[in-house]
Every structure is written in C-alpha cells, then in structure tokens.
Amino acid sequence: MSCKKKTLLLFDVDGTLTKPRQVIEAEMEEFMENLKTKCSVGIVGGSDIVKIAEQMKGMSVLDKYEFVFSENGLVAHKSGDLVHRQSIASHIGEKNLQKLINFSLKYMSELELPVKRGTFVEFRSGLINLCPVGRSCSQAERDQFAEYDKEHQIRAKFRAALIENFAHLGLRFVIGGQISLDAFPDGWDKTYCLRFVENEGFDAIHFFGDKTTEGGNDYEIFADARTVGHTVTSPEDTRKQVTEFLSL
C-alpha cells in the first residue's frame, strides 16, 4: 500500500464506511485498519459520538483514528482526546430553539406515512435532528421509509418548509442518512471540522461521502476548496475508490 502521511483522508460514516445505521463490516474494518497505518485518517459524521461508536464497534473508535468528528465536528476528538465542543442551544437561544422544535413537531404530526414510531426530535450538542418516521423505527421500517421518501420527497418538502420559516435565523437544514434532517447554524455543517485539520500541515485533504449533492449533509465539505471531494455510493464503493485513488 502506498500513501503519503501528509495526505489526510476524511470519511463520512453512514453510507460510506457502513450501511445506513449498521455496524461496520469486517472487510471494511480490516481495510481501514490497514489504511490508517499508511495514511492520516479521520471520520466525520452528523450523528453524536454514541451513535458513531455503535456503528464503529465501540468507543475505541476514538483511539483508532487520528481524528473523530461527531455532530459535524461540533464535538471533536484528536488522538482520543476531546478538543472541542459547541452548543446549538447557547448559540441560537432557547426561544428560537423552541420555535424550531414546535414548528417541526406540528409539521411532522400532519404527515401520513407508512408507519410512525418515536423520537421525532433529537437534541444534540451541535445540532437538532428531525426525523419524520421516528428514530426508534426498526431497520425494516427505516428501509421502508427511505423508499417511500424517494418517491414522495417527504424530507425535501420538510426541508423547504424549514428554510422558508427559519433561514432568517441563520440556520441550515440538510438531509442525512435514510430517515432524517439536521438543523444547525450557518457554518456548522461538516466544513466545521476542517478548522481542526487545515493547519496540521497536510499537503491535501480528501473527503469521501455519499450525500454530496446540494441539500445533502456531505455537500458543503465535498465542495469546499480546502478538500478534494469524492462521491461514493456504499462501503464497497468506498473501498474501490480509495484503492483506485491510492493505486493499491
């Protein structure tokens, strides 16, 4: 394997290193273990660190990779140490936060979907996760909603309504994973994590993600001038593209 240590490879998690909300498979885990011995490697996900750890086989993920950015980098770890944490509540204020949550709950309450479960709003340190089907849905129900969403554009329409009502607060809304949207202040997308790596002396920063079209939660970092963006379609495609890129 050939790779320059001065090149940083940053990976999205959901849909890139793992199947949506599933645990990293042995083949991918072995691939990443091999890769990180030759390259500087980091991961950046929209989920909180608990969910990322679940998908990456435990909190040992913090020690496995040089950089682990959860919640788009609003919670940042370097070499296992917490180096930064930001709070959306303190940034936009409780009044605006409740307006957003109340609007979202009312909007989602009026949707008719194949199923609805629980946990429609999840408060995280750096963002608010909004889920029309409910985050407590089963994997089968998650897959069912994803297919329904492709046909009926549930999240795209929800996103448009959120932009119309809350963009004046300096908030952004992006579609991520299979079932939800993330809401956060301008600049708190995945490019937020770049502030922790852009001065580390890397010759190049490559980002691999699956939601790289506008409105997806990988779009901003994919298109950022500080990165070289790569669009992948699955963990298998990630391995294929990284292998081709590095001429392994």
CATH number at residue 32: 3.40.50.1000
Domain that holds residue 25: 7-86+189-246
Compute CA distances 2 → 5, 25, 29, 225, whole Å: 10, 23, 18, 25
List the CATH number of the domain containing 153.
Answer: 3.30.1240.20
What 3-state DSSP class applies to 50? helix
Phi and psi at residue 39, in whole multiples of 5°? -125, 160
Does residue 214 share a domain with residue 165? no
What's the CA gap between 37 and 31, in Å, rounded? 10
Does residue 132 share a domain with residue 153? yes
Instruction: Using the 3D structure, point to which of 185, 206, 222 is the last residue of a domain.
Output: 185
Does residue 109 share a domain with residue 180? yes
Residue tagged 């890139």 (tokens): 16
In a domain, 1, yes or no: no
Question: Which residues are catalytically annotated?
Answer: 12, 14
Does residue 193 share a domain with residue 71? yes
What's the CA gap between 157 and 151, in Å, rounded? 12
In a domain, 34, yes or no: yes
Q: How many domains does the chain have?
A: 2
**pLDDT, tens digit only, all 248 positions of the chain:** 456 669 999 999 999 999 988 999 999 999 999 998 889 999 999 999 999 999 999 999 999 999 999 999 999 999 999 999 999 999 999 999 999 999 999 999 999 999 999 999 999 988 999 999 999 999 999 999 999 999 999 999 999 999 999 989 999 999 988 999 999 999 999 999 999 999 999 999 999 999 999 999 999 999 999 999 999 999 999 999 999 988 75
Instruction: Using the 3D structure, point to which of 165, 185, 205 is the last residue of a domain.
Output: 185
What's the CA gap between 8 and 216, in Å, rounded? 22
Longest dimension (CA), the chain: 54
DSSP per-residue letters across 2-16 = ---TTEEEEE-SBTT
